[in-house]
Amino acid sequence: MKFVDSHAHVSDAALLPHIEAIVARARLAHVEKILNICTTPEELAVGLELEKRFPEIRCAGATTPHDCEQECESTFACFAKAARERKLAAVGETGLDYYYKELPKEVQKRVLERYLQLSCETKLPVIFHCREAFADLFTMTDALYPKGSPAILHCFTGTMEEAQGVWDRGWYLSLSGIVTFKNSQALREVAKLAPLSQLLIETDAPFLAPQSKRGKQNEPAFLPEVASCIAAVKGVRVEEVARATSENAKALFHFKG
């Protein structure tokens, strides 16, 4: 039984000093692949070096909604160059976050549009961050992102209706440790109905450690708890969740081996 962590920030300053031990623990937990999300040019440079050291790591990159106000031409140019040179497995995470009212919506939309164009140009999957902004995300992508193009809604915490919008567009829905939290019954209902053919699992490390590890720094080795929770609510064996989500991630991100 093997797992793929479809979204982790292993070049984050919190994890990087311990990367050897973190990868070793991931291997012991049967996490065979990790998609490393880079949100700055500095993280990307580190991430590409990690790829050389650890065959299980691949990188994706883009500007997050939280960084849109600081996004400058050189930042976008860095990620665009890497995407065009096929150094990225995906464009992301990018998207819209209306939870934090101080983040200007129009700036977020403008940056998202640029990354949608980059994804279309390079034919790379796009990884969306979306919080309390699904109406605008769906409106923008319906207009700007070709139907059938690959996309992932990472760390999904939306409603059943919003989940259906993800599935109806043929996108993948990714669940994190949040699905294991005691107060996440509504999200477990989404997990119960999620088609295995459109499902991914992630840690979002170093954030959002699953229920049994609450208060600890998250890492890819904790991913099996997410899979076990999903398997329990779906009434299937955890091996089935591991197999389906791993196959989905490998097809999307073209992991080697």
Tell me how far apart the alpha carbons of residues 172 and 187 are, in angstroms, rounded to a whole number: 15
What are 195-237's pLDDT values in tens digits? 999 999 999 999 999 999 999 999 999 999 999 999 999 999 9
AA identity, residue 211: Q
What are 82-95's pLDDT values in tens digits? 999 999 999 999 99
Mean pLDDT along residues 72-79? 90
> What kind of architecture, by CATH, is found in domain 3-253?
Alpha-Beta Barrel (3.20)
User: Is the full-model pTM beyond 0.85?
Assistant: yes
pLDDT of residue 257: 63
What are 100-154's pLDDT values in tens digits? 888 899 999 999 999 999 999 999 999 999 999 999 999 999 999 999 999 999 9
Token digits of residue 183: 């107060």
- The overall average pLDDT reported for the chain is 96
Give me the percent of the chain exceeding a pLDDT of 90: 94
Burial label for 10, CB within 10 Å (0-12, 13-18, 19+), is buried
